[in-house]
Amino acid sequence: MLTYPWQEKQKQRLLEMQHQDRLPHALLLCGPEGIGLNEFARTFAMQMLCLSKDIDSGHACGTCQSCQLFTAGSHPDISLIEPEEEGKQLKIAQIRELIEYVTLKSFSGKLKIAIIEPADAMNRATANALLKTLEEPPPQSMLFLLSHRPTNLPITIRSRCQRVDFEPALDQTAINWLNSQSYESNLPAEVLLRLAGGGPLKALSMLEDKQLQHRYTLLKDLKSLTKKKVDPVQIASSWQALGSENIFITLMRLIQDLIRLKLQQERANLVNLDLKEDLQDLVNSLDLVALVRNYDFVLFKYQQSTGPMNYNVLSLFEEIVVNWNKPKTAKYCL
């Protein structure tokens, strides 16, 4: 197991700390979705537990008893704690089990390691249950907390972990890696990475669903709406059929690009780089204030769709399309 090429800086930093025996008991790994936080934590944990690792490279040997157990997924000194259902919160009982687990003596005599993913799936009560362990960690324990949304974590948790940030991977290293994955798409790696928010693994998974195709549909619909050549209600219902969250996100990214084009024209740093001509075509018939108001409005509706009130997605989309040509002020949205 190796870390990904865009994680080199973070790996070196932690290896150095480990070498100097000043690794903290709790690390908070943060970065965009698809940056490989889980793979990083597991790879790092594997070399921590390895019985004959290469000191210079910091790589686990891959063959010792510990590495074999690790690779088989049956090492007793590492545990992954995640919500029982995707998107749900972690339960207090899971945190209590985790605390008991890291307090027990390790099998290998080295460490007891736990990975909490996503750490922001802890609410106030579960976070409080973990607090004492973070304040007074058992001597052989090591916790990896992983999060794509660290601001959702209670400050009490954040302040008791050492934070390691992974920036969005958009540079040549990530482009080269993505190109080496021999994916099937006519989109260049650079565009895919931008669309994936700098998460190379997300870029790959996006190719497997229809998300990327939705951009063409939405852009075409925005053009028709602008020209008033279509029934807005029909558009809203077709968007609903495509999904919810990814439609909101795709829509916001398209409007952001329209704003960038309006402001910076040729120099605009677009996410939907491959749609530049179509976006340019549309931006000529829109004004900046209307675009900014529309962006605020879509963001507001998106927040409503993910909030606790269970808004009807079709109604939210209808409000967006009806609003498009006569956008209300942002004040209305707050």
Question: Shortest Cβ distance from residue 258 to Zn ion (Å)?
Answer: 52
Per residue in 94-115, is it b (16+ CB within 10 Å) or e — as a string?
A: bbeebbebbeeebebeebbbbb
Of 47 and 94, which has the nearer Cβ to Zn ion?
Answer: 47
Spatial distance between the Cα atoms of 144 and 117, rounded to a whole number of angstroms: 8
Q: Which stretch binds Zn ion (CB under 5 A): 59-67, 219-227, 252-260, 283-291?
A: 59-67
| Stretch of 63-71, 105-113, 132-140, 204-212 lying at the interface with Zn ion (CB under 5 A) | 63-71
175 is a site residue for Zn ion (CB under 5 A):
no
Asked whether 151 and 16 are in contact (CB, 8 A), the reply is no
Rg (CA), the chain: 23
> If you ran DSSP here, which 8-state letter would residue 72 be given?
T
Among residues 46, 104, 35, which one has the least CA distance to residue 75? 46
**Least Cβ distance, residue 49 to Zn ion (angstroms):** 8
In whole angstroms, give the CA distance from residue 204 to residue 201. Answer: 5
Binding segment for Zn ion among 10-18, 55-63, 165-173, 262-270 (CB under 5 A)?
55-63
Binding of Zn ion at residue 1 (CB under 5 A)? Answer: no
In the complex, minimum distance from the CB of residue 46 to Zn ion, in angstroms, rounded to a whole number: 8
Please identify which residue in the block is written with the tokens 């190796």.
2
Total site size for Zn ion, rule CB under 5 A: 5
Query: Quick check: 64 binds Zn ion (CB under 5 A)?
Result: yes
* Residue nearer to Zn ion on the CB measure, 60 or 196: 60
Distance CA 127, CA 129 (A): 5
The CB-of-58 to Zn ion minimum distance in angstroms stands at 12
Using CB under 5 A, list all residues that contact Zn ion.
50, 60-61, 64, 67
